[in-house]
Amino acid sequence: MLNQLKKNHFYLIETAKKLISQRFKENRHHFAAAVKSKCGKIFTGLQLKTSIAGVEICAEAVALSAAAEEGVTDIEALVVVNRIGDVISPCGRCRELFIDYCPKAEIIVPGIAGARIMTPFELLPARASLLNEKRPA
């Protein structure tokens, strides 16, 4: 897959950055995500952090859920940023969600020379091989 960001990717990043800059709250919302459907609609989400360690909902899951709530399933691109607006890599649980809910999406992740694009299967290569093993010949 091409690693170059396009204009719509930069807009998605800026959308997530704007959300976290407006809504960051210590011990509540440290991450924001933005997802774009093929029709161009953008959905956003904030991380929902709790006082119990390990009990939280990722911003990516919230954004995907917002899209699903409106019946949108054709997710084209996705990004998550931290509280200072840096693009970050999604956690393993969210990578699994991407394979199930948006397997062809362009996931914007950090790279050595700036943000780049990866597919859900590039983020979880072992999962791709497991899926191939389960498919009948």
pLDDT exceeds cutoff 70 at 132: no
The values of phi and psi at residue 111, to 5°, are: -140, 170
- Is residue 11 within 8 A of residue 34, CB to CB? The reply is no
* Residues in a beta bridge with 72: none
Mean pLDDT of the chain: 89
**What does the pLDDT average to over 103-126?**
92
Q: What is the pLDDT of residue 1?
A: 43
Residue 13 CA to residue 34 CA, distance in Å, equals: 7
Q: Token digits for 6?
A: 């396009």
- 111 Cβ neighbours under 8 A, 6+ residues apart: 3
pLDDT band at 24 (very low <50, low <70, confident <90, very high): confident
* 96 has catalytic annotation: no
Percent of the chain whose predicted confidence (pLDDT) is above 90? 69
Q: Pick the catalytic residue: 26, 60, 106, 133?
A: 60
In CATH, the number for domain 7-134 is 3.40.140.10
pTM: 0.87
Q: Where are the domains of the chain?
A: 7-134
- Is residue 65 within 8 A of residue 80, CB to CB? The reply is no
